[in-house]
């Protein structure tokens, strides 16, 4: 295939350095995917025979290799990972391919690479696309988690029915009050979760720490796993308890956990906790629409909360006696609820 990667050749060394720079991104929670116009067998043989390459096939969450357009490949990658197309950064040394993707998918970031491969690695390292203040345990495991997600998607497509697929997943959910080790990930979820986020309030790490230590606030985190592996910490809710009123400040679920009823199981845990803490109280909640959180619209009504007002911008206000809150049946999910007593 004329592939040049490795020592002894200036071009090969340049591409090896570039691969090292790319692989380093996985330690920061960045997902890698391949969109290649090629024969799948040829690419497989390269990974099998070139053990000197810094990148291995297992470093990639999704591999799309065919003679279809790279636009199609990118769309498939986003769909498989269940992420927005605007989350993708497309790097290609072919100017024609870059131009095609820019034209067809303007949401995708397509950097203009330097002319010389010797400059690729430093170019990538200088960019701020993937900068984070803190790397969490979730970030280190993202490649594995999204490979698991791709396997789930393949099984779902082959499954006879959605109900049977959900049962076969064997999802287990744990909901508990947040501890010190959870706070970096909770901070990340507050600031990254857009699709299933009732209020899309953004909080800094210092504010998250204050909520966790406040006797007035209930900050809980949800973790999930299934037969394919760990989904990790995928949900958060924050409740402000003031006298006999409890205000649901935030309720959010990572997009990778949607489609299996986890959000309902989380709300059941919230209802259970409120009935224990404030059996005679009232739960106040809001849905605040944004351009991206349409999947969360209608959730509170479906959970049995009472709509009392709709604002001019589509904001919905709910006020429900806690004694009237009833769980939604989620028999395919095993739930362990450990909020405070």
Q: How many CB atoms lie within 10 A of CB 64?
A: 20
d(CA 82, CA 31): 12
Per-residue pLDDT of the chain (341 residues; tens, 9 = 90+): 456 665 667 888 888 899 999 998 888 778 899 999 888 888 888 888 887 888 888 889 889 999 889 999 999 998 888 788 888 999 998 988 999 999 999 999 999 999 898 999 999 988 888 765 455 655 555 556 666 666 666 666 666 677 777 888 889 999 999 999 999 999 999 998 999 999 999 999 999 999 999 999 999 999 999 888 888 899 999 999 988 899 999 999 998 788 889 999 999 999 999 999 999 999 999 999 999 899 999 999 999 999 999 999 999 999 999 999 999 999 999 998 876 54
Q: Which residue from 203, 204, 260 is spatially nearest to 228, judged by alpha carbons?
A: 260
Percentage helix, strand, coil, to 5, in the chain? 45, 25, 35
Which domains occur in the chain, in start order? 10-126 (3.40.50.1000), 169-338 (3.40.630.30)
Nearest Cα to Cα of residue 203 among 217, 189, 216: 189
Q: Are the beta carbons of 205 and 183 closer than 8 angstroms?
A: yes
Q: What pLDDT sits at residue 181?
A: 93
Alpha-carbon Rg for the chain, nearest whole angstrom, is 23
Q: What are the start-end ranges of the E strands in the chain?
A: 32-37, 60-66, 171-177, 196-197, 217-226, 229-242, 245-253, 282-287, 307-310, 316-321, 333-338
Q: Are 19 and 54 in contact (CB under 8 A)?
A: yes
Total-model pTM: 0.64
Residue 328 CA to residue 339 CA, distance in Å, equals: 19
Per-residue pLDDT, 320 = 97
How confident is the model at residue 48, as a pLDDT?
86
């Amino acid at each position: 295939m004329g592939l040049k990667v490795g020592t002894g050749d200036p071009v090969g060394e340049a591409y090896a350095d570039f691969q090292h720079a790319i692989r380093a991104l996985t330690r920061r929670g960045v997902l890698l995917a391949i969109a290649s116009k090629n024969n799948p067998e040829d690419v497989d043989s390269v990974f099998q025979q070139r053990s000197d390459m810094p990148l291995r096939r297992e470093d990639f969450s999704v591999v799309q290799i065919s003679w279809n357009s790279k636009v199609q490949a990118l769309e498939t990658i986003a769909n498989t990972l269940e992420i927005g197309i605007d989350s993708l950064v497309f790097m290609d040394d072919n100017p024609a391919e870059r131009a095609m993707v820019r034209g067809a998918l303007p949401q995708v970031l397509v950097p203009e690479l330097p002319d010389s491969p010797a400059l690729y690695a430093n170019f990538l390292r200088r960019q701020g696309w993937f900068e984070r203040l803190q790397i969490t345990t979730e970030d280190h495991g993202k490649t594995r988690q999204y490979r698991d997600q791709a396997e789930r998607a393949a099984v779902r497509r082959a499954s006879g029915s959605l109900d049977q697929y959900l049962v076969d997943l064997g999802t287990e959910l744990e909901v508990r009050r947040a501890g010190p080790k959870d706070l970096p990930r909770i901070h990340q979820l507050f600031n990254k979760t857009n699709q299933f986020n009732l209020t899309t309030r953004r909080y800094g790490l210092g504010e998250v720490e204050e909520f966790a230590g406040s006797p007035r606030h209930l900050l809980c985190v949800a973790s999930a796993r299934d037969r394919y592996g760990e989904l990790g910490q995928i949900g958060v809710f924050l409740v402000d308890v003031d006298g006999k009123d409890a205000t649901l400040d935030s309720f959010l679920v990572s997009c990778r956990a949607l489609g299996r009823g986890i959000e309902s199981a989380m709300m059941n845990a919230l209802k259970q906790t409120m009935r224990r803490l404030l059996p005679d109280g009232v739960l106040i909640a809001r849905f605040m629409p944004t351009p991206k959180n349409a999947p969360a619209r209608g959730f509170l009504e479906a959970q049995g909360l009472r709509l009392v007002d709709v604002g001019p911008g589509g904001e919905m206000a709910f006020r429900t006696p806690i004694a009237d809150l009833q769980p939604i049946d989620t028999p395919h999910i095993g739930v362990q609820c450990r909020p405070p007593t």
